[in-house]
Amino acid sequence: MVSTNAEHIIEVRGLHSQFGRQVVHHALDLDVRRGEVLGVIGGSGTGKSVLLRSIVGLRKPEGGSATVLGVDMARASDRERRLIEQRCGLLFQDGALFSSLTVGENIRVPLIEHHRLSAKLLDELVALKLRLVGLSADAAHKYPSQLSGGMRKRAGLARALALDPELLFLDEPTAGLDPIGAAQFDELILSLKRALNLTVFLVTHDLDSLYAICDRIAVLADRQVVVVDTPDKVENYEHAWVRDYFHGPRARAAQSSAARRQDTAVSHG
């Protein structure tokens, strides 16, 4: 199935996900626009990560379709899947690095898998990707266990960017980070999105991230996407979970922080 809308880099139609008798998604529809940061939120068990895995082809849904860059991932040939993999970057929680490989070797993995490059060029590309995410060249020689949580996430992001993707998938990227580290990671994602013209699919529970970097928010509830819109509109959507999520004490603090950032940006503009 080929997408008919060039502005939609991802199109999910009628997605049905099920584990045994447990139905996670039913008739779920979602579009992701080219060039946006889409935040995906929902309560525990609503299938945020299942949705991400279904879209990238790591899990075949029980029904429906997930089309990425014009290719239905559940029905893609090996060649089509390989081409899509080269155009997408994926960052799981805590970086998901290979523990037995150094950071540099981790970044080399997708480069070696998809391209035939000299050792010199591989070293240069590793150094470039590390600089992109704010890590020094010395990080290439360290093992994941020798890095802090924030550095592991940045190293994982460097690997996700190894093939210069146009679509970046992030699964809870700020989980486990302190507030300062999380804010710095948000700023990094936003700067990379602008510099590299990325489309970002962001699974998160972090309210600060939603207000800091997301153009739109999709809410998973009742086995579907109940609303997808800009943050200011989603926060006022009439749904019990949405109301509790966006109007509790933590939400008010995140909204105040976002307002302060906007005021600072205007004053420095």
Distance CA 148, CA 191 (A): 22
Distance CA 35, CA 161 (A): 16
Is it the case that residue 220 has pLDDT exceeding 90?
Answer: yes
> Taking residues 98-126, what's their average pLDDT?
94
Instruction: Name the region of 173 (left: φ>0; alpha: ψ -120 to 50; beta: rest).
Output: alpha
- Long-range interactions of 21-26: CB distance < 8 A, separation 24+: 23/223, 24/50, 24/223, 25/50, 25/51, 25/54, 25/61, 25/220, 25/223, 25/224, 26/223, 26/224
> Taking residues 207-226, what's their average pLDDT?
96
Check residue 223 and give its pLDDT. Answer: 96
pLDDT above 90 coverage of the chain, percent:
81
> Taking residues 48-73, what's their average pLDDT?
94
Q: Provide the CB-side half-sphere exposure for 168 (13 A, CA).
A: 29
Tell me the pLDDT band of 163, cut-offs 50, 70 and 90.
very high
What is the pLDDT of the chain when averaged over all its residues?
90
**DSSP assignment letter at 95:** G
User: What topology is assigned to 37-47+165-268 in CATH?
Assistant: Rossmann fold (3.40.50)
This prediction has a pTM of 0.89
Residues in the chain: 269
Is it the case that residue 263 has pLDDT exceeding 70?
Answer: no
- Please state the domain extents for the chain: 37-47+165-268
Contact between 215 and 198 (Cβ < 8 Å)? no
Check residue 253 and give its pLDDT. Answer: 60
Higher-pLDDT residue of 5, 109: 109
Check residue 247 and give its pLDDT. Answer: 87
Tell me the pLDDT band of 1, cut-offs 50, 70 and 90.
very low
Tell me the pLDDT band of 252, cut-offs 50, 70 and 90.
low
Strand partners, 221: 224
Indicate if the alpha-carbon torsion angle 237, 185, 107, 117 is positive or negative.
positive
3-state secondary structure of 83: helix
